Amino acid sequence: MGHIQSDPAIETKENGERRWVLHNYFSERHGEAYRRSPYGQHPLL
């Protein structure tokens, strides 16, 4: 995903945590848009 080759397990863990933080952030800050999304998830994720 990035420019630097790294341990896939570490990269997946970091990306997963970052994605979860963004998911929680958008869910809380934009709850209405999140619930009305036709895809069942925030469009920016």
Q: What is the pLDDT of residues 1-43, one digit of tens each?
A: 555 566 665 566 776 677 767 666 666 665 655 555 555 555 5
pLDDT at 9: 58
Model-level pTM greater than 0.95? Answer: no
Cβ 45 vs Cβ 38: under 8 Å = no
Query: What is the residue extent of each domain of the chain?
Result: 3-43
pLDDT at 36: 59
pLDDT at 3: 56
